[in-house]
């Protein structure tokens, strides 16, 4: 069966969020350390307010509370990666959704920078941060989709395992060129979304 929908990680697969973390922090190394600390504090855990995680991670990374508040105020000042508009344009007519690790307010704000989607599911709504299965499952249940008919586009390595464990095929846009995760295998690994349309066409031909 052809894919009925395509889901996306938002804050790595579609948007260049790293640039804003780095700009607010003052340099790339500090910004990426701050971002990594935030991921360590939330990954796979029950939801607690995302703003608190950003502030706690700032303390870990040696970033001031003032800068943490600045990042939250500017959340959404992200640019899509250069390959994103064309990739999304090729999905016209296909159901698309986002599953993202942040609050409802910040998730909606950031998603609007990437384009139009049929659904945006945040960790706050699901009660847990990815790769806990609850955010992915909430999206599928809301849209009435089966995992086996859905392709998920991962940006972070933990999304590969998270989406694969509930039965979705995974396309991994490995923009950071990080090692493969131990808990899941992507159908395709690429540095960006340029091969997404081809992967979908190949899948549809095989299934038809």
52 and 24 share a domain?
Answer: yes
42 and 86 share a domain?
Answer: no
57 and 85 share a domain?
Answer: no
22 and 65 share a domain?
Answer: yes
Mark which of 46, 73, 100 sits at the end of a domain. 73
Mark which of 51, 73, 95 sits at the end of a domain. 73
The residue range of the domain holding 96 is 5-16+78-207
Residue 77: DSSP 8-state = -
CA gap 72, 55 in Å, rounded: 9
Q: What is the pLDDT of residues 85-143, one digit of tens each?
A: 999 999 999 999 999 999 999 999 999 999 999 999 999 999 999 999 999 999 999 99
Q: What is the CATH number of the domain that holds 97?
A: 3.40.50.1000
**Token representation of residue 174:** 């490995």
Q: What is the pLDDT of residues 139-159, one digit of tens each?
A: 999 999 999 999 999 999 999
Which of 193, 205, 194, 143 has the alpha carbon at shortest distance from 168? 143
Domain total of the chain: 2
CA gap 46, 81 in Å, rounded: 29
76, 113 Cβ separation under 8 angstroms: yes
- For residue 208, pLDDT over 70 is answered with no
In this predicted structure, what is the pLDDT of residue 1?
63
Q: What is the pLDDT of residues 2-55, one digit of tens each?
A: 899 999 999 999 999 999 999 999 999 999 999 999 999 999 999 999 999 999
Which of 180, 132, 136 has the alpha carbon at shortest distance from 160? 180
């Amino acid at each position: 069966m052809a894919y009925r929908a395509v889901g996306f990680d938002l804050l790595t697969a579609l948007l260049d969020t790293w640039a804003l973390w780095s700009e607010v922090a003052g340099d790339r190394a500090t910004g990426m350390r701050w971002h990594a600390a935030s991921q360590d504090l939330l990954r796979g855990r029950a939801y607690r307010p995302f703003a608190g995680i950003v502030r706690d991670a700032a303390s870990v990374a040696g970033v001031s509370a003032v800068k943490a508040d600045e990042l939250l105020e500017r959340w959404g000042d992200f640019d899509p990666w250069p390959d994103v508009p064309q990739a999304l344009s090729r999905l016209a007519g296909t159901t698309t959704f986002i599953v993202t690790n942040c609050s409802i307010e910040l998730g909606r704000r950031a998603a609007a920078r990437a384009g139009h989607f049929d659904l945006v599911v945040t960790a706050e709504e699901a009660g847990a941060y990815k790769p806990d299965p609850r955010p992915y499952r909430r999206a599928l249940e809301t849209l009435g989709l089966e995992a086996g008919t859905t392709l998920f586009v991962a940006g972070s390595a933990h999304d590969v395992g998270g989406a694969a464990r509930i039965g979705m095929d995974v396309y991994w846009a490995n923009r950071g060129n990080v090692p493969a995760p131990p808990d899941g295998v992507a159908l395709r690994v690429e540095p960006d979304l340029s091969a997404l349309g081809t992967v979908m066409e190949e899948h549809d031909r095989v299934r038809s």
